[in-house]
Structure 1
Amino acid sequence: MVEVDQMHFQTVDYVIFALLLVASAGIGLFYAFSGGRQRTTQEFLMADRSMSCLPVSLSLLATFQSAVAILGAPSEVYTFGTQYWFLGCSYFLGLLIPAHVFIPVFYRLRLSSAYELQHFTWITGEPVWCLAVIFPLGLFVVTGFDLWGAVLAMGLVCTLYTVLGGLKAVIWTDVFQTVVMFAGQLAVIVVGTSKAGGIGEVWRKAINGSRIAGLDLNPDPLERHTFWTLGVGGVFLMLALYGVNQAQVQRYLSSRTEKEAVMSCYVVFPCQQIVLCLGCLMGLVMFALYGEDSPLDKGYVKTKDQMVLYFVMDVFRELPGLPGLFVACLFSGALSTISSAFNSLATVTMEDLIKPHFPNMTEAKATLLSKALALAYGLVCLAMAYLASIMGSVLQAAFSIFGMVGGPLLGLFCLGMFFPWANSIGAVVGLAAGLAMAFWIGIGSFVMRMSSGTPVPPLNTTVLPLFDNMTTTVMTTLVSANTAKPTGVEALYSLSYMWYSAHNSATVVVVGLIVSLLTGPMKEKELTPGTVYPVLGTLLFFLPERYREKLCCVTPLAQKVTSHPHCCASSCSVQRSLGHSLAFLSLLTSPKTPTCSLIRWPRKTATGQRTAKMTR
């Protein structure tokens, strides 16, 4: 390859990038003046619950596939090899469990937001996640692209189509942006492979350079990447993202039927595998072209992530327009994630903070306020981007802190949905314990590595979706085989970042159950069937019948919940019972409003088993 240290966009690249922004804004304008014209909160925040399977699944994928992931996966494979690919093994259970456990509970209760806990976590954490996808735009210095022009253009266009078109516009722009992401990655791989001498030559160089990793079955949880850390630990990370993440849950609930919501998880599974393979293949093509003598070693770039953009500019230097396509691909990943954040923040603020205190607010005022909230969050995100540019390492610390929240939140949902005797005191104490453990391990690991003089790799050396990809800053250093194995507290600090979500969620569940039993477990009369998923009885099959019945006394059989055609989704009294079961995780509603969930209480049959009847 010709050594080129200064490469910049040409006119055609800017044109292609501008077309992306214009198309995204156009979709928002279309939905602003079509259909119901976003005149109700249900249409603006929930897309009238009318979305089909395909756009929902592609939107789920786009929200996951941020600009951070597009840049980070190739650089991970280039540096460490294809071991990262085994993360794909976690996708199956990571999507199957949400499809058949979380979606039925959320969808049948007709919720609008995933959890009231967002008062404390989502509203403070989601703007930080906006920074996570804006931050990689600073890498565009390699292309000569003006940083603030990029941030302002992306932020304003994203805010525009989110405010005007609501969730429908967000989902359909995600579909468009997913196509752009695939096109950009494929273009880089095809041209790069051609310049490297073909796919056979790419594979040969990857093998000779020890970049093709085998199946590592080492059970040591301190190892950075093994089959178990990626394939098993990754399941919990995926559950935190696709099971209880408000942005994803909101998309499930926008589906026309529960079946289509479930199918969206099945459709996104092969798409995730394709995206993962494209990222790994791009990293191998980079290695085939540069080998061990990378642009980073030559001083052309300052970080491993800039190396990906340098690679794109180098490969496409004789093909004007294609660099613009790849940058449009990166912007698509950022736009899809940020627009999801804006819409989700507006939904949570409206449904969980404002409506309970202003129950008589008219629909017109509520819709207008929802749009104003989306606009305000967009402007706040732009302001935080400016602060990030002058705060340096604070941003990196914010990423790590946000990543530690995913596991405890997953544990909190599991505590309420799977254990009928868990009470609100146990939930609060369990959550506090999980968060304390998360920050203790995360901060302790960072301090230990800094004090030992071990250099901390760049933020995106390994990229993971949504929550736990932020913790890689403290966990992605290769350890020499001669290094003494850590013991005691140091071993805890050396835990692989892929186990963070599992470890922290387990802490919440264990502590929450112990505290619930000590303070008085939840009583059967305090729960409504449908808020507890019936899995505990199956797991405790080895116990005598009387003990199982006592432990699972309020766990209903699998059932469909009939929705009353005239009920407002945000005023269902069954959501009130979910607030007890999930420990203040659902909406607080008025007990005087009609119920959507027409279910009778469980009763004993002649055989002593409990059933739940549904009135149709």
Structure 2
Amino acid sequence: MEQSVFGLWDYIIMAATMIASVAIGLYFRFSGGKQKTNEEYLLADRNMSILPVAVSLMASFMSAITLLGVSAENYYYGMQFVVINISYGIATPIASRLYLPVFFGLQKTSTYEYLELRFGPRIRMLASLTYTLQMILYNGIVLYAPAIVLEAVTGLDRLISILLVGLACTFYSTLGGMKAVLFTDLLQSLLMFGAVFSVVVFASVQLGGFEQIFVVSKEHGRLDFSNFSVDPTQRHTWWSLILGGLITYLSLYAVNHTQVQRLLTVSTLDRSQQCLWWSWPVLSVLSVVTCISGLAIFAVYKDCDPLASRRQRGHDSTMTSE
């Protein structure tokens, strides 16, 4: 039987997050232009400020499965994965200077309109269907992974969790359009930062200091950054992380419809490029702290490894509990 480990404040925060997200959708549905035009509904009237767009770019890239997966990666395999952040710094100017001006100059609603202009309607349809299939599969994982965690800590059935989160997200995005999406992303980003920083802070207190996270991790071989191998079969090396991270970043921030649509919600190309540039440090800070949180969890629980004690099976996926 699953035993709930949530306290009163945990439930209050979880409920408040859901209610606030729905309230944001309702607010933008009945304020401003009331989402009556495609320009407002899909592109937020192209008058958004830089901060919510920059943070939303990060939030659409760093989901719950990223927080779970990256922390688990560092827990089991060490902090080598943090090297991927170097690629973000390399890719940001490429996306900002080479890709973004093309899409912004066209002032189209989606990247697929560009494909139609360049290659014809068949390529647009093929790319659109491929993206739709990808997002269906991706959203299934994004909803399922947190549902497993909620089931473990609250006893809430994972199907109910999936339905609650899925319906809430569908509700506020359908009613409030792009404005609601951007501001709920801002809210959720604050919660993500609060969560990972809380893990690091409480672990530091329990261990007797922030530096103890790295002392314990180093003693157990979790701070090895020496893998410069060019062997593609190895789990993580400097070259695979930088090259792979570069390609991944560009596929998301340069040409992905989800990101490009957000980048078109501001008034000028210069502001759009600023959104992209500001999202880089926000993304990197969350990524680095999430890596540290994985080490912090390891440092605290190094003597009661759930995998070694057979309380958990496998660790190549996202911390799947039995």
Q: Which runs of 5+ in 1 are unaligned?
A: 305-457, 462-616
Q: Residue 81 of structure 2 is aligned with which of 68, 76, 84?
A: 84
1:141 counterpart = 2:151 = yes
For 2:56, give the aligned amino acid.
S
Tell me the distance in 1 between the aligned counterparts of 2:137 and 2:170. Answer: 16
User: Given the superposition, is the C-alpha separation of residues 143 and 80 from structure 1 closer, same or farther in structure 2, using an over 3 Å criterion?
Assistant: same
Offset, 1:6: 4.4
For 1:235, give the aligned amino acid.
L
1:124 alignment partner, SS class: helix
Q: For 1:157-216, what per-residue CA distance to the aligned partner results, in whole angstroms no more than 9, with x for missing partners?
A: 111111111001100111111111111111121112211221222221111101002242
1:122 counterpart = 2:131 = yes
1:297 alignment partner, SS class: coil
1:188 counterpart = 2:199 = yes
2:222 alignment partner, SS class: coil
Match of 2:245 in 1: 234
1:206 counterpart = 2:64 = no
Question: Could you say what the CA RMSD is over the residues aligned between the two structures, in angstroms?
Answer: 1.7
Aligned residues: 304
Offset, 1:281: 0.8
Tell me the distance in 2 between the aligned counterparts of 1:276 and 1:119. Answer: 30
Contact 1:106 1:114 in 2 (8 A): yes
Contact 2:199 2:297 in 1 (8 A): no
Q: For 1:457-493, what per-residue CA distance to the aligned partner results, in whole angstroms no more than 9, with x for missing partners?
A: x3237xxxxxxxxxxxxxxxxxxxxxxxxxxxxxxxx
Match of 2:109 in 1: 112
Match of 1:460 in 2: 318
User: Given the superposition, is the C-alpha separation of residues 239 and 25 from structure 1 closer, same or farther in structure 2, using an over 3 Å criterion?
Assistant: same
Q: Residue 301 of structure 2 is aligned with which of 285, 290, 314?
A: 290
Query: Rg bigger for which structure?
Result: 1
1:35 counterpart = 2:32 = yes
Tell me the distance in 2 between the aligned counterparts of 1:36 and 1:22. Answer: 23
Q: Output aligned runs, 1:491-510, within 5 Å.
A: none
1:16 counterpart = 2:13 = yes
Q: Output aligned runs, 1:303-382, within 5 Å.
A: 303-304=314-315
Match of 1:179 in 2: 190
For 1:192, give the aligned amino acid.
A
Does 1 or 2 have the higher relative contact order (CA < 8 Å, sep 6+)? 2
1:44 counterpart = 2:53 = no
Contact 1:142 1:301 in 2 (8 A): no
Match of 2:116 in 1: none
Offset, 1:303: 4.8
Tell me the distance in 2 between the aligned counterparts of 1:114 and 1:459. Answer: 31
Q: For 1:223-268, what per-residue CA distance to the aligned partner results, in whole angstroms no more than 9, with x for missing partners?
A: 2211111012210111111111110010011111111111111101
Moved more, 137-146 or 201-210: 137-146
Tell me the distance in 1 between the aligned counterparts of 2:303 and 2:101. Answer: 50
Tell me the distance in 2 between the aligned counterparts of 1:295 and 1:460. Answer: 14
Q: For 1:375-410, what per-residue CA distance to the aligned partner results, in whole angstroms no more than 9, with x for missing partners?
A: xxxxxxxxxxxxxxxxxxxxxxxxxxxxxxxxxxxx
Q: For 1:22-66, what per-residue CA distance to the aligned partner results, in whole angstroms no more than 9, with x for missing partners?
A: 111111111111111000111111111111211111000000111
TM-score (norm 2): 0.90
Offset, 1:91: 0.3
Tell me the distance in 2 between the aligned counterparts of 1:19 and 1:118. Answer: 38
Structure 1 segments, 4+ long, off by >4 Å, are: none
For 1:267, give the aligned amino acid.
W
Q: Output aligned runs, 1:47-86, within 5 Å.
A: 47-86=44-83
TM-score (norm 1): 0.48
1:120 alignment partner, SS class: helix
1:251 alignment partner, SS class: helix
Q: Which runs of 5+ in 2 are unaligned?
A: 113-123
Offset, 1:8: 2.4
Contact 1:9 1:145 in 2 (8 A): no
